[in-house]
Amino acid sequence: MLINCVAYEDGNRLADCPIDDISEYLKRPRCFVWVALKDATPEELAKMQLEFGLHDLAVEDARHGHQRPKIEEYGDTLFAVLHTVEVGATDELVVGEVDVFIGPNFVLSTRNRTHQGFLGVRERAEREPHLLKHGSAFVFYALLDAVVDRYFPVIDALETDLESIEDQIFEPHLGRANIERLYALKRKIGIVKHAVAPLQESVAKLISGRVPQVCSNNREYFRDVFDHLTRMNASLDSLRDTIGTAIQVNLSTLTIEETEITKRLAAWAGIFAIATALAGIWGMNFQNMPELKLAWGYPAALAIITSACAFVWWRFRRAKWL
């Protein structure tokens, strides 16, 4: 579906142009065209390929989707795959994809499986014609920066979730629930990591070494995006390390809880063992057991058993086994 197709000249909005008129605007020396698609059909991509002369392999990747984040160079055209990460209705992370084609005088973006649009990016760019004058490379930076900035709230939410789990990690009887939450959080961090890490490697190609010609005059902007991605990668690595530590602490807490239960059971078993032993002694029906014939023998036996159990119970309490 076509969202918009706009022609710009010297950083200023020139006109909303029909797709069939794109080639006419591309002939102007200081003009470039910015096209935005959503869930593009193969027919729409074929039309864009014809208008902009896109490479077959890049169009095939955009048509099939589910690509790894990357930035590839095809002659004087760049093809970028960006992943969007959104928090869904069930608190699960939803991964979308934005494919961007960048040429000397055009930008084509098509987004799939994502509800977040880029109208705000276009409006911001149009408010800064002195920057938009840089052409298609600045538009690519604006789109890239918008996608990357949307990672920050997701990472902040993951950090908040981890802090809430850490607050409950020493609460009794929550060990299994905490481990399940930690593993679910680790899986979410992996999803964001798969979007951030490959993109950082790709953006590095735009700021050092042989930079693609279309982006050569905008290195400082892409360096800013690279810095953001570096910070995100460090935060994600820190979160993963903290989760690993939290899991180990949680498992240790479970072991301590099990040890405490075992100690209590062993203590009560020891107390009842004394009563069982004394009762067993007096239950051996030997004929020559004089205490069996005493009038006060039964209450005396109960008193001895009770006293012995009470003494052992006191000793266990003092040793903090009970």
For residue 16, the cross-strand partners are 6
For residue 82, the cross-strand partners are 98
* Confidence at residue 286, expressed as pLDDT on a 0 to 100 scale: 65
Q: 């100690």: which residue's tokens?
A: 263
CA distances in angstroms from 129 to 13, 27, 126, 262, 276, listed in the order given: 9, 21, 6, 73, 93
Report the 10 Å Cβ neighbour count for 72: 17
The domain 1-149 having CATH identifier 3.50.50.60: the answer here is: no
Query: Topology of domain 259-318, per CATH?
Result: Methane Monooxygenase Hydroxylase; Chain G, domain 1 (1.20.58)
DSSP secondary structure string for all residues of 55-67: -HHHHHHHHH--P
* Confidence at residue 56, expressed as pLDDT on a 0 to 100 scale: 92
Q: Pull the structure tokens for residue 241.
A: 């390390």
Contacts of 303 (CB under 8 A, 6+ apart): none
* Confidence at residue 219, expressed as pLDDT on a 0 to 100 scale: 87
Q: Where are the domains of the chain?
A: 1-149, 259-318
296 vs 280: CA distance, rounded Å: 19
CA dihedral of residues 249, 255, 261, 262 (deg, nearest 10): -160
Q: Do domains 1-149 and 259-318 have the same CATH topology?
A: no
User: What sign does the dihedral 52-57-59-65 (CA atoms) show?
Assistant: negative
CA angle in degrees (0–180, nearest 5) for 153-139-231: 35
Instruction: Please say whether the beta carbons of 71 and 203 come within 8 A.
Output: yes
Instruction: Determine if the pTM surpasses 0.75.
Output: yes
Q: Pull the structure tokens for residue 184.
A: 């679910």
Amino acid in the structure at residue 6: V
167 vs 105: CA distance, rounded Å: 54
* Confidence at residue 188, expressed as pLDDT on a 0 to 100 scale: 94
Instruction: Please say whether the beta carbons of 125 and 139 come within 8 A.
Output: yes
- Length in residues, the chain: 322
| CB-based burial label for 162 (10 Å; 0-12, 13-18, 19+) | buried
278 vs 273: CA distance, rounded Å: 9
pLDDT in single tens digits along all 322 residues of the chain: 888 889 988 888 888 888 888 888 888 888 999 999 999 899 999 999 998 899 999 999 998 888 899 999 998 899 999 999 988 878 889 999 999 999 998 999 999 888 888 888 888 888 888 888 888 999 999 999 999 999 999 999 999 999 998 888 888 777 778 888 999 999 999 999 999 999 999 999 888 878 888 888 888 889 999 999 999 999 999 999 999 988 888 888 888 778 888 888 888 888 888 888 888 877 777 667 776 677 777 788 888 888 888 888 888 888 887 7
Q: What is the CA radius of gyration of the chain?
A: 35
Contacts of 51 (CB under 8 A, 6+ apart): 19, 22, 23, 26
